[in-house]
Amino acid sequence: MVKIKIIGLGPGEFHHLTLQTINLLKNDKKLFLRTEIHPLVEEFPKHNISYESCDSFYEECDDFNQVYNRIATFIINKAREYKEIQYAVPGDPLALETTVELILRLAKDNNIEVNIVPSVGALDAIYAYLKTHPSKGLIVLDAISMPNDYYWAGKQVLITQVYSKLVVSELKLKLLDIYPPDFEVTIIKAIGVTKQQEVKRVKLAELDWYDYNHLTSLFLPRINLDNKFEDLIKIVKKLRGPNGCPWDKEQDHKSLQTALLEETYELLETIQSGNKKEMCEELGDVLLQVAFHSVLAEEDYYFNHRDIINGIIKKMIRRHPHVFANASVETSKDVLKAWEEIKLEEKGDKQKSIVDNIPRVLPALLQADKIQRKAARVGFDWDNIDDVWLKVEEELQELREADKEEYLDELGDVLFAVVNLARFLKVDAESALISTINKFRKRFQFIEKQIEIENKNFSDYTLAELDEFWELAKKDNI
């Protein structure tokens, strides 16, 4: 039977090792080290401990995943060659040791027996220094593979593998997204290694001013991070409070409808213009409307802002089973179809039709686009764009032949068919029309400017003369 013993080298001094570990290191079995860059290894010659290091893989590979996979494969192959080997890693073999995880997986697939020898880990020494532990809520993370979500923000956090300024620079940027620049963190170096131990409290903004090595970790104490949306809610409540603003105190859901609509359109205008600074401001104005309505609802005991946030979080998870569960989709079209099916299932008997939830207050072009897309997702759609072109031509012909009483219906059919064409051309009809309106606005203003320069009035020009100004504006790309 092929066997591997995995040994932890602890924080870095011989007195941290158990007698079992010392005896194993001194026996005649072939010993491999993940890395020899560890304080304890410097003492190996004194104890006649021979070994082979895997450090060369760090130089040969482009990233850590590649390094760890190469090391794991190397150890499995050496186990087959020597029948029984020992593999030693810094700290505790089961604490943030990716190579150990990979070796365990490969060993199972190759019918190789693996025994892990318990040891005092580098983390144990840090826990003792900090006088805390994961059982008391300490969260341990790896700087090389920080999670994308921020479930750990504000809690006690120990970040390991903070071994270089490059790692620290990336880590600092991530932390500054959450914590204030003057937030104090603790740099912890070589805890348990008497001659190398170093602890330093620094401001987050200054994190990359210091030197780091492979024995460095970072400790973030608990902090009550301000929830800025909560602050906004408090402001709205104060505005509606006894000593608040008379106007704000008079508002209700209906009176704020126009404000919500106006703020939304102002946001859309910044998106179309590409002005990111103004977009940021307008998003804030829309967010204020959300906060205001949530406070009004809370006053009437319907729901509050937390219900709103929890509701949308649950909805997004529920409607994305291909991301948060085991469902499988191949294209964005599949995603939209699944989305509609989930929505119908959620609504149950409350929604008889897939077009029921399209607001009737939407602008007509946008409403037409949405209703067409809803129908298309369940298969009610033209097969190809040629059929759509024919439909537009057919509706135009019917409008030409219509009586005065039929103009309203027939013109509506033309517009509806054109929106369908826009959808097939992958152009947003609402945006296209707004773009043309804006273009007309600028060119008409150009004509007004020319008339002003010549100190005349519109009535002084023929349509042909005005059209010359229009063509001049087109030529100047206005």
* pLDDT number for residue 20: 85
- Tokens describing residue 290: 């959300």
Q: Which fold has domain 3-119?
A: Cobalt-precorrin-4 Transmethylase; domain 1 (3.40.1010)
pLDDT mean over 67-72: 90
Does the pLDDT at position 398 exceed 90? yes
Coil/strand/helix, residue 52? strand
Q: Distance (Å, rounded) from C-alpha 195 to C-alpha 346?
A: 63
Question: 8-17, 155-164, 263-272, 405-414: which has the highest mean pLDDT?
Answer: 405-414
Q: How many CA atoms are closer than 13 Å to the CA of 136, on its beta-carbon side?
A: 10
C-alpha dist (Å) from residue 246 to 194, 215, 240, 249, 260: 67, 61, 8, 5, 19
* pLDDT number for residue 351: 58
- Contact call for residues 146 and 182 (beta carbons, < 8 A): no
* pLDDT number for residue 311: 87
| Interval 239-250: pLDDT, tens | 999 999 999 999
* pLDDT number for residue 19: 84
pTM, two decimal places? 0.46
| Interval 181-213: pLDDT, tens | 889 999 998 887 777 888 999 999 888 888 888
pLDDT mean over 364-389: 89
Q: Distance (Å, rounded) from C-alpha 47 to C-alpha 53?
A: 17
Q: Distance (Å, rounded) from C-alpha 411 to C-alpha 399?
A: 6
- Tokens describing residue 56: 């060369």
* pLDDT number for residue 418: 95
- Strand stretches in 152-295, DSSP E: 157-160, 184-189, 198-203, 216-220
* pLDDT number for residue 227: 67
**Minimum mean pLDDT among 100-114, 334-348, 408-422, 454-468: which range?**
334-348
CATH 3.30.950.10 corresponds to the domain 124-220: yes
Select the more confidently predicted residue: 147 or 138.
138
* pLDDT number for residue 349: 55
| Interval 297-356: pLDDT, tens | 999 988 988 889 888 888 888 888 888 777 777 787 777 777 777 776 776 655 567 787
Q: Distance (Å, rounded) from C-alpha 422 to C-alpha 388?
A: 10
Q: Which fold has domain 353-427?
A: Helix Hairpins (1.10.287)
Q: What is the CATH number of domain 228-318?
A: 1.10.287.1080
| Interval 230-239: pLDDT, tens | 889 989 999 9
What one-letter code names the amino acid at 371?
I
